[in-house]
Amino acid sequence: MARRLLPEWAPQSGVMLSWPDPDTDWGPRLHAVEPVFLAIARAISRFEALLICVRPQREAHLRQVLDQAGLAQAPIRLFAVDYDDTWTRDYGPVSVSEQGRPLLLDFRFDGWGGKYPATRDDAVNRALHAAGLFGDTPLRSLPLVLEGGSIDGDGEGSLLTTRRCLCQAGRNPGLDQATLAAELKRHLGVERIFWLEHGRLEGDDTDGHIDTLARFCDPATIAYQHCDDPHDSHYAELQAMAAELARLRRANGRPYRLVPLPWPAPCYDSHGRRLPASYANFLIINGAVLLPSYRSPASDRLAAERLAACFPDREIIAIDGLPLIEQNGSLHCLTMQFAAGVYRP
């Protein structure tokens, strides 16, 4: 059995989360965002182990927060480590299978093409591995810059991504699309790469991460962020993206089943800046799917109904995503799952 990128719905041994503190970009909004992180921790720890990275100076505070929330006995482990930001999806290790055994890939993280400091983020995976948290699972560090939120796999050899993000000059200068495709196939064990040309969200500073746009739910299903308002600035791009998705074919030649996720009411920050609200940024865990909600009752409810139909064997748990998108990301962006057999609490 060759190398294979594991889909998110494959069995997991745990999930990784990095906690916010006053010295991160969350500082001015910590009072609003820390309860959301706590809700995420509570939901994940109901179903599987949770590893929380925390800056050393905040570890005592976090233990107190978890204790006051009744989570002192939950399957949660804290690991004191320095990091630049909390978007764990983009610097956490990517799980693949090689010869039937798990392998972790540690791609370089450069702050989304050099936009933000990332040196400490880029060292987190090696610190976790050196501490023995991955047991005997190898961690392979690679020179290629790649963020976990920029790729999604169907478990059958197909990879979904956006050309605008992966081919952005700041990430891997000197590598063209063909060379990137060859590297992705070699490292991830995929056979087909779907490069979306369309799809964007205002307020997104990742150059178009796929995990805010379209996601595999099973080998035959893609849920995607739909826009049905022709007066909205996103309409043309998301309609064009939907048409691209309709043209994709599975390895067996059949089209994917496409599930449009509703368009939430526009969200803005206190300065009137449009925020990147997307229901596609859901997190699949053992037994549940965590879905961001945006205090938009009708679309929140419809998004939950449509994802419930995609995941009939998993509980759908809504998490308030509005405080999260103040920093341009949501649930999936904050977390990274470990494949079965990887994480050793």
Three-state secondary structure call for residue 90? helix
- Choose among 336, 333, 314: nearest CA to 325: 333
DSSP 8-state assignment for residue 152: E
Are the CB atoms for 214 and 160 separated by under 8 Å? yes
Active site residue 53: no
Q: Measured over all CA atoms, what is the biggest interatomic distance in the chain, rounded to whole angstroms?
A: 54
Residue type, position 316, single letter: I
As to burial, measured by CB atoms within 10 angstroms (0-12 exposed, 13-18 middle, 19+ buried), residue 142 is: middle
DSSP 8-state assignment for residue 10: S
Q: Which helix (H) or strand (E) holds 74?
A: none
**268 forms bridges with which residues in the sheet?**
274
Residue type, position 55, single letter: R
CB atoms within 10 A of CB 191: 13
| Rounded (5°) CA angle 86-71-338 | 50
Active-site residue (options: 227, 267, 310, 333): 333
The DSSP line for 313-327 is TSEEEEEE-TTGGGG
Q: How far is CA 206 from CA 73, 136, 160, in A?
A: 36, 33, 16
What positions carry a catalytic annotation? 333
